[in-house]
A and B are shown apart, each in its own frame.
Chain A
Amino acid sequence: MARQRKLSPQAETLLVTLLDASSKWLHGYELSQRTGLKSGTLYPILIRLSEIGLLDSQWEESNIAGRPPRHIYRITRKGAAVAHELQASSAKSQTRRRAAGAI
Chain B
Amino acid sequence: MQRMRSPLRKLASAITSHSKTLLPSEKADWGRAMEQEASSIDSDFSALKWALGCAFACYLEGKRVMTAQERANKLGEVAPVIMSFLAFVIVLVVVATGWERHSTDEGAAAHLFQLLIVGQAPFVLMFLLTAKWSNLVKVVKPFAIQVGALALALGSLAVFRL
Residue of B whose beta carbon sits closest to that of A64: B40
Q: Which residues of B contact A40 (CB under 8 A)?
A: 52-57, 60
* Interface set of A (CB-CB < 8 Å, partner B): 27-29, 32, 38-44, 46-47, 57, 62, 66-71
Q: Decide yes or no whether B34 CB sits under 8 A from chain A.
A: yes
B41 within 8 A of A: yes
Within 8 A of A (CB), among B9-42: 27, 29-30, 32-34, 36-37, 39-41
Choose among A41, A42, A47, A67 the residue that contacts B61 (Cβ–Cβ < 8 A).
Answer: A47
| A70 to B39 Cα, complex, angstroms | 9
Contact indicator B41/A29 (Cβ below 8 Å) = yes
Q: Which of A40, A44, A71 has the most CB of B within 10 A?
A: A40
**Chain B positions within 8 Å of A67 at CB level:** 39-40
> How distant is the Cα of A7 from the Cα of B49 in the complex, in angstroms?
26
Given contacts A43-B57, A44-B57, A71-B30, 15 further A-B contacts (CB under 8 A): A27-B37, A28-B37, A29-B37, A39-B52, A39-B54, A40-B55, A41-B53, A43-B54, A44-B61, A46-B30, A68-B36, A68-B40, A70-B33, A70-B37, A71-B37
Asked if A38 and B40 make an inter-chain contact with CB atoms under 8 angstroms apart, the answer reads no
A60 CB, nearest partner CB in chain B, Å: 10
Residues of A within 8 A of B37 (CB): 27-29, 39, 70-71
Answer whether residue B50 sits at the interface, using C-beta atoms and an 8 A cutoff: yes
Contacts of B53 in A (CB 8 A): 38-43
Q: Which residues of B contact A (CB under 8 A)?
A: 2, 27, 29-30, 32-34, 36-37, 39-41, 49-58, 60-61
7 A-B residue pairs with Cβ-Cβ distance under 8 Å, sorted by A, are: A28-B34, A39-B52, A40-B53, A40-B54, A43-B34, A66-B2, A67-B39
A69 pairs with B60, CB closer than 8 A: no
A67 to B36 Cα, complex, angstroms: 8
Known: A29-B40, A68-B39. A47 touches B56 (CB 8 A): no
Contacts of A70 in B (CB 8 A): 33, 36-37, 40
B57 in contact with A39 (CB, 8 Å): yes
In the A-B complex, list the 5 residue pairs whose CB atoms are closest, starting with the nearest: A39-B53, A71-B33, A40-B53, A40-B56, A43-B57
Cα distance, A39 to B32, chains bound together (Å): 14
How far does the alpha carbon of A47 sit from the alpha carbon of B29 in the complex, in Å? Answer: 10
Contact of A28 among B2, B33, B49 (CB under 8 A): B33
